Amino acid sequence: MMRIIAGSRRGRNIFSVPKHKFVKPISARIRQSLFDILRPYVTGSFFLDLYAGVGTVGLEALSRGAAKAVFVEIDGLCLKTIEKNIEHLGFSENAKVLKADVLSGLKWLEHYSDYQGYDIVFFGPPYRTEENLPLSYSARTLELLAEGGILKASGLVVVQHHKKELVPAPAGVEWVRQEKYGDTLVDFFRLVK
């Protein structure tokens, strides 16, 4: 059973989907480390969780004081699970769940940040298909974020990806730091000032 690690909903359960759904939520260890790094930026932030799965990262952000979290997912069961988690944790006033294919573009998401932009964008797209073929969505998603102009000038983009997937910084974006957890890498990017 997954739980919220810290903040106002610390210790509360997070509902998941059956294992055969091929959704792999971020581990508690990576989530703890991620939010240790993001701690100075989370309170009062507009948080965007792409490829949200069951919403674990966005829910953790809300528990730790994010003002609003927007969850984008394409799978119907995952969307219902995110909505169930939001209601269960009492975040209905601070969360928006949207069904969309992230790779079809992101500019439209500016509306859900009240046209102010997002302070933090997190995404950890699936590494593999159900047939176990490698996927490489991270670099294209980062490009779409840069093109979409939906990140605040001071905002951070956090990308969780497999160590074999290369995620170069597109024009207008700079790489800040990287953390390694076994086969998983977490890269931090921001807009070039």
CA distance 14 to 191: 32
| CA–CA gap between residue 151 and residue 113 (Å, rounded) | 10
Residue with tokens 């933090």: 120
pLDDT tens digits for range 150-190: 999 999 999 999 999 999 999 999 999 999 999 999 999 99
Q: Which pLDDT tens digit goes with each residue over 111-120?
A: 999 899 999 9
Query: What residue numbers bound the domain in which 152 lies?
Result: 2-191
CATH number for the domain spanning 81: value is 3.40.50.150
Domain count, the chain: 1
Q: Round to whole Å and give the CA distance between 104 and 74.
A: 11
- Report the predicted TM-score, pTM, of the whole model to 2 decimal places: 0.94
- Distance in angstroms (rounded) separating the CA atoms of residues 16 and 80: 10
pLDDT in tens, 60-102: 999 999 999 999 999 999 999 999 999 999 999 999 999 999 9
